[in-house]
Structure 1
Amino acid sequence: MTTIRHEAEVPLTAAGRRFDQALAEMFPDYSRSRLSGWIKSGAVTLDGTQAPPRQLLRGGEQVRLQVELENEVTSAPEDIALDIVHEDAHLLVLNKPAGLVVHPGAGNPAGTLLNALLHHDPKLAELPRAGIVHRLDKDTSGLMVVARTLPTYTALVDLLSRHEVERQYEAVVLGTMVAGGTVDEPIGRSMGDRLRQAVRDEEDGKRAVTHYRLRERFRAHSLLQCQLETGRTHQIRVHMAHIGHPLIGDPLYGGGLKLPKGAGAELIAMLRGFRRQALHAEKLSFVHPATGEALSFGAERPADQWALIEALRGDLLEYGPDHY
C-alpha cells in the first residue's frame, strides 16, 4: 500500500473558487473525480478540518492531502512473458503479441495482459486497470503504454483524450486501393450484435477519425499505414470494412476469402490460414508526462504478418499487377 502526502497553501488567486475546483488546479496530477472523492472521504483537509467540495475559498488556507492507495485491481498476478520495449519509474511500453487479451472479462477471467503486468510489478494493483490506459484487441499485435504511478496514469489519460498520443498501425486489407484518405464516421455498438461495433449516426455514435495511406498494392489486397486521430473500439477494423476494404482474417468485419486469379498454393494456404485481423500497432509516440521528453517507439511486424506480406509480394512478382 502506498501513502500519498501533499501539503500546500491555497493561492490568493483562488479566492471565491470552489474547493474542488481549486484543488484540481493545485494538484493536476490527479483526476478531478479522484480528488473529489478524496475530499468527501476526508483524505483532504482544509485548515485541518474536513470541508465540502463546493466550499468557497478565500485564499491562503492550508490544504493537506493524505491518502492510502488501496488496490483497485483484484485479479491475480500470473507469470506471463512480456516484451518490454521501454521501462522507467513512471511508465512502461510493451509490444503485445497477437492472441493475448488485455483485460480479464467474460470468457477470459485470467491469462491476460493485466495479470502479466501485476506479476511484473505488483504495485500496479493500486492503479485503475493496473495502469492500462488504452487497449488493443486480442488478435491485434503491437505497442501499448502502461502507467506505473497515479500521476502518470492521469497524465496519459489526458494526453489520449486530447489526441496527443500518436498511434500508427499497419493493416493488410482486401481489395486494391489507389490512394490514401480519411474516414471520419461515428462509431457505436451494433444494434444487431453486441460483439460488433458499427458506423452510426452522430446521435448514436462517437466521433471516430482514421487516416490511412497506401504503402503497397498487391493483386487483390493492399498494405496500409493507418493513423488514429481518435481511439474507438475496433475503429480501424470498422472503418476499413465501411469503405469496402475489410482487414484480412478479421472474424467480425472481414469480407471472406478473396484470391487473386490463378493464385498459387502457397498464397492460398496463407490466406486461408490467417485467422486473425492483419493489424499491428507499429509506432507509438508521446511526450513523457514526468520528464517532458518526446518519446517514439517502433515494433517490427510479427512473423505471421511478415509471412503474409511476403506471400502477397511473391504473388505479385510472379503474375504482375495486371493479372487479376
Structure 2
Amino acid sequence: MSSEDYIDEVEITEEIPLSNEIRVIIPSQWRGDRLDKSLAACMPQYSRSKLQSWIEAKLVRYLDGKFAQIKDQITGEQILLVTIPEDPQNKAFEPENIPLEIIYSDESIALINKSAGMVVHPAAGNWSGTLLNALLYHFPECDQVPRAGIVHRLDKDTSGLLVVAKSIIAQTNLVRQLQSRTVSRRYLALVWGKPPMNKVINAPIGRDPRDRLKMAVTEAQGAKEAITSFKVLQTVHYENKEISLIECKLQTGRTHQIRVHLQHLGFPLLNDPIYQLRAPLQLQKVLMDTYGTDQQNVIPGQMLHATQLGLTHPESGQEVKWSCPPPILFLKLMGYLGIQEQAWQHLLV
C-alpha cells in the first residue's frame, strides 16, 4: 500500500511549467533593481522563488549567451531568454475515458465531484484509472498544465469537490489562494462519539515516527501548523454508542488533517482504514441487509465528504462557491442512523 493512496487534503505549491524558451524584455523602470525581482514583476504567473530556482539552474540567459545571476543589476530594456522546464509527469500519463461528475467548467477552471474510491494522482500501485487520467481525457487542454491542473487532493476514499486549473496562470492563482488560506473548504464527516458542539483544533501534524503511512499530531521537527474547526450537526444513538454528523472547515491543508485531528480528540471517523481499526462491521452488515448485498452498498473507507468549496475565480476575480450532496451510500447510512436531512442541507448553496 502506498502512502499516496491516503492523501486526504494536501496543497500542491510547486509550480512546474511547460517546455519552451520565451523572450522577456525588462523595462527601464527596473533599472538598478536585482534581476530576480524585476523578472518576477515581468512574469507574475510564476513565483519569485521558482524564478530564482530557474536562474540558479542556468535556465535564464542574456542574448550574448551569458547566464544570468540572481543578484545581477538591471540596466534597463534588457532582453532575457528564459527556458521554462517541462513537466515530465504529464508525458508519463495517458488520457483515459473515465466518467467524471463535472459540476462546473469554463476556460480557466473545472469543479469535479470526485467519487469515493478514485485515486487523484498516479503513484505506485495506481498508475492508471486516476482522476489525472480522466482529466487529460475530458479536458485535453490540461495536458499543458503541470499535474493536469490538480492543485489540491482528496484521499482515495474521500468523496466531494475538487477544483482543477486549466491554465498555468489559473493554477498559479489557485495555489496562491491555498497558500493564503482564502479557499473555503467544508466537509461532512461521520464520527464515533459526541464531540463538543463547536471547537477549533490547532495542533501541528507531521509524519508518524512509528508508521510512515500515517500522520500524527506532533511537535517533532518537520511538523506543520494545522487548524481545523468543526461543529456538531446531529448526534444519534446506535447500539449503546453515539455517532455524530459534524461539519469540518479547513484553515490549512495538511495530509490526513481532518482524520488525524478527530482521532487525536478521541472521535475517529467511521470506517477509517488507517486511523480507526475498529471498523463498524456491524454497520456494513446492516446496510447490506437493508439495501442489498451488491457492491454499491459496501462502505469504501472513512465517511468523509467535501461538500462545499469557495474561492476567488482566477479570471473574473469574483467570489464563487459550489456545493454537492454526499454520495448515495453516505445518504443511505445517515438515513439508517436517523440523521435528518435538515441537519446538513444548509451547506448546499
Q: Same fold (TM over 0.5)?
A: yes
Q: Which runs of 5+ in 1 are unaligned?
A: 316-324
Q: Which of the numbers 41, 44, 64 marks the counterpart of 1:28?
A: 44
TM-score after normalising by structure 2: 0.79
CA contact (8 A) 1:169 1:283 kept: yes
Aligned residue for 1:180?
198
For 2:246 and 2:45, how far apart are their aligned partners in 1?
A: 37
Q: Which of the numbers 215, 226, 233 marks the counterpart of 1:208?
A: 226
Aligned residue for 1:321?
none
Residue 231 (structure 1) aligned with residue 277 (structure 2): no
Superposed displacement of residue 113, structure 1: 0.5
* Higher relative contact order (CA closer than 8 Å, sequence separation 6+): 2
C-alpha change, 1:185 and 1:22, in structure 2 (3 Å) is same
Percent of aligned pairs with the same amino acid: 39
For 2:207 and 2:22, how far apart are their aligned partners in 1?
A: 42
CA contact (8 A) 1:39 1:53 kept: yes
Q: How does 1:287-306 map to 2 (within 5 A)?
A: 287-306=312-331
TM-score after normalising by structure 1: 0.85
Q: Which runs of 5+ in 2 are unaligned?
A: 1-17, 291-296, 341-349
Residue 57 (structure 1) aligned with residue 79 (structure 2): no
Q: How does 1:235-314 map to 2 (within 5 A)?
A: 235-254=257-276, 256-257=278-279, 266=286, 274-313=299-338
CA contact (8 A) 1:131 1:147 kept: yes
C-alpha change, 1:93 and 1:313, in structure 2 (3 Å) is same
C-alpha change, 1:24 and 1:302, in structure 2 (3 Å) is same
Aligned residue for 1:196?
214
Q: Which moved more, 1:108-117 or 1:121-130?
A: 121-130
Superposed displacement of residue 307, structure 1: 0.7
Q: Which moved more, 1:85-94 or 1:202-211?
A: 202-211
Q: Which moved more, 1:289-298 or 1:201-210?
A: 201-210
Q: Which of the numbers 108, 115, 127 marks the counterpart of 2:126?
A: 108
CA contact (8 A) 1:101 1:108 kept: yes
Aligned residue for 2:14?
none
C-alpha change, 1:131 and 1:110, in structure 2 (3 Å) is same
CA contact (8 A) 1:139 1:276 kept: yes
Superposed displacement of residue 4, structure 1: 7.6
Superposed displacement of residue 217, structure 1: 1.0
Aligned residue for 1:167?
185
Count of aligned positions: 310
CA contact (8 A) 2:63 2:81 kept: no
Superposed displacement of residue 49, structure 1: 5.7
C-alpha change, 1:67 and 1:259, in structure 2 (3 Å) is closer
Aligned residue for 1:218?
236
